[in-house]
């Protein structure tokens, strides 16, 4: 079957906002003693704005993922998250970020089950033969629970950092209702959901089994997801990190309902749904591991079957405190982290040049720069943060940028030369480390 890939589409040149330029000037001083790290930061920090961002005439912002000319809800949110702390006093940055939120809201109204969208209704698709209910706006229609969560996380961060309410219109509230209704439906996927997805391309991870319905699940209170944040199909369709993310986002939405829209009835609905999902996580999402003690499973089906692993993508086990579900010192998270960074995790790899978490999305032995960045961001010690920075610095293959996965024995062998999300997450780690004074 034809897989529709397009060549790189150059984005129009965008003047870097003043606040971004100031951070790069600050780095010139604070990283002067580490010239390679400085150069990596100077390349990666503005990369999203310089190569993937297009400010549209309708007031929205279109952000592609990098080497694919489509906008993933998840990726585009994370591609700009390192700019959020700078937005309070920079009108240009506010225009870019609020525009991205407004475009997310448009996309959610078009199809809340889709994970990636086009710039226009141009009918471009990752695979033209996917068996699902497609739209000319949709690049790919893999339902990933985390995608909708990232849209709300983006809006919440913008609101909290800037204090601005320009994004909160009737369309935003309507999108909140769409998300709520979808979560409620997917608590009962087999009984109520209209969603199906099949892709006949010979790659099992690209398609849902059981005629596009996915494998059977038991009711748990959690929300069903077809695919992981890696865009690979779930083994068991209650993805625990994604449901944790949904709990956090429902708390954000409660603040929107209470303090912005003054809708006490919707507030009650959101609280009840949050409680249902959280109860399911605590009841079904914790596995008693013989070595590590109680750990958070990666996935479960509610029938007592578990997928024990971690993936480099966010949300994952490593990123639980980054998303705000529990703090980094939570005992079960600490057990889960030790598991994820051990050979008990089937996607943890050690090689001659690096050790860390990879993904079933890339070959065995490949570690992801995003996983190393997230390990550094969630680390509780200065030593671990510095170790991750050193490993990232040493594994860029002298390209000056981060990649998707690289071979643990030879970082010169890697996937995705232009992957803006990875550059942004690396930039978050470096910026946080600069602010904490550990560099």
Residues above pLDDT 90, as percent of the chain: 95
User: 36: pLDDT confidence band, cut at 50, 70 and 90?
Assistant: very high
142-162 tens-digit pLDDT: 999 999 999 999 999 999 999
The predicted structure's pLDDT at residue 13: 65
β-bridge partners, 419: 66
User: 12: pLDDT confidence band, cut at 50, 70 and 90?
Assistant: low
Which whole number is the average pLDDT over 17-31?
97
Which whole number is the average pLDDT over 355-368?
96
The predicted structure's pLDDT at residue 202: 86
User: Is residue 13 exposed (0-12), middle (13-18) or buried (19+ Cβ within 10 Å)?
Assistant: exposed
User: 11: pLDDT confidence band, cut at 50, 70 and 90?
Assistant: low
Which region holds residue 324: left if phi is over 0, alpha if psi is between -120 and 50, else beta? left
Residues above pLDDT 70, as percent of the chain: 97
- How many residues can be counted in the chain? 439
DSSP state of 206: G
Which whole number is the average pLDDT over 265-277?
98
Cβ contacts of 347 within 8 Å, gap of 6 or more: 309, 310, 311, 312, 357, 358, 359, 360
Catalogue all structural domains in the chain, each as residue range(s) with its CATH number. 18-436 (1.50.10.10)
What is the token pair recorded at 31? 């990283």
**432 within 8 A of 27, measured Cβ to Cβ:** no
Cβ contacts of 390 within 8 Å, gap of 6 or more: none
pLDDT at residue 69 is higher than 50:
yes
239-253 tens-digit pLDDT: 999 999 999 999 999
What is the token pair recorded at 13? 């040149």
The predicted structure's pLDDT at residue 8: 47
User: 182: pLDDT confidence band, cut at 50, 70 and 90?
Assistant: very high
Separation between Cα atoms, residue 116 and residue 308, nearest integer Å: 27
pTM: 0.96
The predicted structure's pLDDT at residue 130: 96
Separation between Cα atoms, residue 318 and residue 379, nearest integer Å: 10
Which whole number is the average pLDDT over 390-405?
97
pLDDT at residue 4 is higher than 60:
no
Separation between Cα atoms, residue 434 and residue 432, nearest integer Å: 5
The predicted structure's pLDDT at residue 2: 33
What is the token pair recorded at 274? 């949050």
pLDDT at residue 6 is higher than 70:
no
CA dihedral of residues 369, 233, 225, 375 (deg, nearest 10)? -20
Helix and strand numbers (H, E) in the chain are: 15, 15
β-bridge partners, 117: 71, 138
The predicted structure's pLDDT at residue 14: 73
Distances from the Cα of 116 to the Cα of 65, 144, 281, 402, angstroms: 9, 10, 27, 22
């Amino acid at each position: 079957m034809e897989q529709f890939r397009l060549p790189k589409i150059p984005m129009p040149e965008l003047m870097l906002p003043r606040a971004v330029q100031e951070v790069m000037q600050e780095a010139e001083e604070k990283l002067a003693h580490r010239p390679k790290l400085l150069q990596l930061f100077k390349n990666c920090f503005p990369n999203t704005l310089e190569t993937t961002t297009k400010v549209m005439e309708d007031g929205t912002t279109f952000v592609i993922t990098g080497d694919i000319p489509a906008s993933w809800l998840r990726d585009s949110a994370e591609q700009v998250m390192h700019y959020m702390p700078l937005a309070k006093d920079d009108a240009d940055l506010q225009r870019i970020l609020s525009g991205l939120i407004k475009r997310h809201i448009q996309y959610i109204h078009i199809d809340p089950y889709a994970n990636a969208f086009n710039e226009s209704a141009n009918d471009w698709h990752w695979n033209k033969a996917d068996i699902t209910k497609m739209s000319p706006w949709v690049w790919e229609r893999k339902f990933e629970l985390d995608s909708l969560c990232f849209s709300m996380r983006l809006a919440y961060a913008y609101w909290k950092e800037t204090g601005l309410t320009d994004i909160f219109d009737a369309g935003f509230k309507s999108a909140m209702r769409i998300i709520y209704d979808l979560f409620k439906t997917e608590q009962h996927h087999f009984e109520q959901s209209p969603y199906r997805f099949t892709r006949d391309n010979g790659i099992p991870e690209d398609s849902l089994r059981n005629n596009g319905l996915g494998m059977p699940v038991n009711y748990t209170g959690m929300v069903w997801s077809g695919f992981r944040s890696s865009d690979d199909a779930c083994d068991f369709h209650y993805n625990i990190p994604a449901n944790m993310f949904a709990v956090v986002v429902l708390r954000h939405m409660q603040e929107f309902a209470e303090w912005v829209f003054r809708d006490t009835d919707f507030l009650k609905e959101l609280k009840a749904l949050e409680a249902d999902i959280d109860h399911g996580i605590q009841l079904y999402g914790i596995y008693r591991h013989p070595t590590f003690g109680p750990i958070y499973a990666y996935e479960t089906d509610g029938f007592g079957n578990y997928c024990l692993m971690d993936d480099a993508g966010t949300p994952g086990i490593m990123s639980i405190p980054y998303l705000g579900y529990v703090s980094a010192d939570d005992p079960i998270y600490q057990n889960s982290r030790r598991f994820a960074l051990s050979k008990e995790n089937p996607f943890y790899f050690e090689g001659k040049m690096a050790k860390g978490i990879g993904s079933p999305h890339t070959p065995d032995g490949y570690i992801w720069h995003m996983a190393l960045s997230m390990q550094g961001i969630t680390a509780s010690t200065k030593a671990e943060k510095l170790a991750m920075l050193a490993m990232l610095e040493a594994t860029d293959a002298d390209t000056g940028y981060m990649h998707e996965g690289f071979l643990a024995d030879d970082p010169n062998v890697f996937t995705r030369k232009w992957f803006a999300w990875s550059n942004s997450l690396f930039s978050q780690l470096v910026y946080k480390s600069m602010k904490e004074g550990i560099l």
